[in-house]
Chains A and B, each alone.
Chain A
Amino acid sequence: MTSLKRSAGSDPLAQNISTKVYVRSTKRGKVQKIVREQYLRTDIPCCSKICERCLKAVPRNAASQPIDFVLSDRPAGSKDYPNGLYLVPDTNALLNGMDLFEQGSAFYDVIILQVVLEEVRNRSLPLYNRLVGLTKSEDKRYYVFFNEFRLETYVKREPKESVNDRNDRAIRRAVKWYNSHLAKCKAKKIPTVVMLTDDKANILKAKKEKVPAFTLHDYVSGLDDANRLLDLIAISEERGAATDKKAGDHLYPEHYTMSKMMTGVKAGVLHQGIYNVSQYNYLEGSIKVPAFPKPLIILGRENINRAVDGDKVVVQVLPQDQWKSPSTKIIEEEAVTKNENADADDGSDFVSEKERKALQEQVKKTQTTAIKGTSQPTAKVVGIIQRNWRQYVGHVDPTSVGQAGKQGRRQEMVFLIPMDKKVPKIRLRTRQVAELLGKRLLVTIDSWDSNSRHPIGHFVRSLGEMESKAAETESLLLEWDVQYRPFPKTVLDCLPSEGHDWRVPQNKEDLGWVNRKDLRDLLICSIDPIGCQDIDDALHARPLDNGNFEVGVHIADVSHFVKANNAMDTEASIRGTTVYLVDKRIDMLPTLLGTDLCSLKPYVERFAFSVVWEMTPDAEVADVKFTKSVIKSREAFSYEQAQLRIDDQSQQDDLTEGMRTLLMLSKMLKQKRMDAGALSLSSPEVKIQMESETSDPIDVKTKQLLDTNSLVEEFMLLANISVAGKIYQAFPQTAVLRRHGAPPRTNFDELSSQLKTKKGIELRCDSSRALAESLDNATDPKEPFFNTLIRIMATRCMMSAEYFCAGTQAYPEFRHYGLASEIYTHFTSPIRRYADLMAHRQLAAAIEYESLVPSQRSRGRLEAITKNLNYRHRNAQMAGRASIAYYVGQALRGRKTPAEEEGFVLKVFSNGFVVLVPKFGVEGLIRLRDLADPEPEPVFDPENFELRCSGSRDVTIALFDKVLVRVMDHKEEATGKRGVRMELVRKI
């Protein structure tokens, strides 16, 4: 018997065809063998400007133009390579040094091989996206070379060769080819192509094959500013080094394999969710999983098992005898783990004595309370599905810096304390300790091995001196992931070419006038906060002949200027919202639109999108119309001015009368809403007064609410509800709506038991209406602020409202709990919210003004956008609050004598309590050890929410107590954090 096999040589085209065979596992569990034919070409250019041959051979586009050749003809060189270098990084070099490649001072003329790009994509999607961003940037001169498709650089895998080795060989082959290819060029100075790698084996092989190569470290060392650049390299174990370590060295339990986790989750043995760290205790976290009504608690370093706040983790529920109640103790990382040595991290005691002690007291107490059934299921993290690591802002812990580091240039391991208390300390290896001390730094976490107590990271860049306004503001924006970079040119190119000179066309034949109503004769005005520049909305009201009123809400027609899917639209959808800080506004849209062309400024004609109702004198809606329009606002009032004008009976002009009508109707609307069960919730809001010249804060004031505030609010709500109904009718699957889920009853458990024991007040939360009523009744005749306090606390029990796409929820789920409306959307602020812009487009399509572009009709895409919007909104809110808190601190700092203010106890722990000072809208933690020295003896009564202290200071603190506190600005020496510090003066 003979065997027959066609030999590859017999086919003349065989050398140009190769196949790629791999196994594809689909999500649904299918496993397929995939065979792809790969055609090897000889016309893929090297893209170097010195190469004439490639320029001739390169395929042309329809206009018979070749692609731009990006690699410079005189790239930067080094001492050994005066002719210049083209860099070819391998996968590890990119994974460990992505921050390096993004530097502006070096790393130009880089060739990214296809094989490397693909490997990066498999290893880390965020890094891949950054790399793609780099290859697209024009000034960095990055070129993606498709080495797998070029005949000369294609490498066939040898039998028994691992994929990694094959890919490394492909990189070396490509570098070799590049060099021999460029050597044939006629240019005088022919640059050398070098491989950059972080892999020792690869560099040895390169040496053997005479391929020019550097380790990343060696290359960077030869550059200017090497010390700073070297810090940017991620710390990674050498390949294969990790296996040397013995199993006994592991401080944390190993994570499960992905397949084991997925099997467990599917079988219901394990649970998957997002890990959240407690605000007050860094050793306690919680995770909400569908299988349990209450979040699972994760206690202690070992159970947390390297999860970081926000990670998607898989947990296993612990046996019932290990269930505990949430801690009643404040444990702060910096206090407990102070004076740890960063270098000796792999040390012996894993759960330090101090931590153990801190947790033990807790265990003691929980054992007594657990009998009463307050214990909650606890769990341990067994694996991490997806890390949610971002870049963190923090500063170097000065106590972790050795003497040598302060002077010399030796590489040293230091701790970085993140601004975000929920994030653990990060070990940082740096050569420039002296420069970094006292600066705000941006760092990333590289890894967290099971044998390392703390995660390890590397330095990205310095934001500047701590406490300098620029550094603090930037760190705040970074912490909350606010996109604050200036708008790129592509976005600005989308603006109207007329710029500020843009006018509503006079000629009614103009395209802009098509299907647009002329409402310029209406007496329209806008009411906004003082100094508002981006005026989204304006109103009018006038009596009709039949005794009804015509009421109009006119919203800036942003969708006229921002067309779907252009660069500006994409940028706005990423930013999601305008972010308001105390002294700064980070716009969603370029200023030209936001504050001029779209803004409904007074005395000029503007395009608008109008909602016009016919309303009966009882504020019932008789009819509603939606139309694109042209308006001319007669006046832009501030809330105060509008209030004065309305109250001033001498003003009898039509505009003022219209405003009075609006006010009258708004009051009725509000009453109706309240009757339906709308909640009036509260959050402490303050306003910072700035000195006009230096914009230094001088005072803090609580915001005043006027009737006119509520006037505008009511009509905006009405407009939103009307629009929501209309777009839902037109697009039942894709309408962008906003919902506010009813809070689960368990959210109110704590508050209602607190109210019951302390004040004897019943809190009912069966419906929003019942809740509204019991909140109205929750008063303390002696203390007018008490009601607001309860409202603030109730607000914190609520779910957060969210944008969603109509098709993803059933109609009853559309309900907005807080507003007691069946359906709701955001329509009225398109200048500062992207969701409103989407609602505008959908409404325009619903009234057949223009058609929707297909991408706005795709549910999957809309879901992705709304998800991002929800995320951005939350962050914008947080950033705003953080900014206020910072400025409150700054305002207090300016005072000579510390302010003594009234405050209320919000929360009682076994070793401290939290006080809210309404005047400044700040909360402060007062620990027992701050009360007196030595620390007074505490007796904590969790049933009655009381903390009785005796010994050095006799005082009993109970929940809702009114106290007098001294509020001052304070900088903690160890952490360098500046914040508000409170001291208890006495109980009131």
Chain B
Amino acid sequence: MTADAALRCQALTVRYGRFTALDGFSYAFAPGRLYGIIGPNGAGKTTLMNVLVGGVRPSAGSVHIRETDVTGLRVPARARMGLGRSFQITRTFAGMTVFENLRLAAQASVFRRQPLWRSARTFPETAERARAMLATVGLEREADRPAEQLSHGDGRALELGLALMADPAVLLLDEPLAGVGHGALDRTTDLLARVSAGRTVLLIEHNMSAVMRLAETVLVMMDGKLIAQGDPAAMRRDPRVREAYLGSDA
């Protein structure tokens, strides 16, 4: 390892009763790279993500952000250290418009203490950031639509916008293409490529062609363990990977 890792995990293990969801997972994610994480269902990918952001406490092992041990920190503290995340099931604010969703997210980076007395509409800083993000994720025309009325693809774009609002150095994407229709697939993949520039990205995705196109390094997980890693082309040929998939999915 030459430079400090952006995110490093050390022998992470998560047990639920007798079931081991994550089994001694260690890896150092280098700054600015895009990692694709693949593996059959139940391989521990989402558990890994939950442990990395602080939502699940590991039974053993540690997590480091830029070599600071954050194992004892909860989700909000890690988020403030530059760890962003998009969820597999979109976690947007139903009942607020798309613009209001993004403006609320912008408040996290604009204010140290949330103002109590002025209307949230009257702060130009948050409005500007929200508008810029609308443009980035391509939702300008949906700005005033309630979040719960968005099409699936647009909901995904908003989810991504919320995760990007704090400009995280490390971005964890949990199946950002799940359920996105054929028409929007290329657009969303392009969007992922664009917003990943300059960040460390961990991408969990079942859509193989997207992973092969986006990822610089592919990690293959099975039964809670890292079983192989390398560049996408090598992983595609790797017999262990084939076995992992054919063994459980076929």
The yes or no verdict on A and B being binding partners is: no
B residues in contact (CB < 8 Å) with A: none
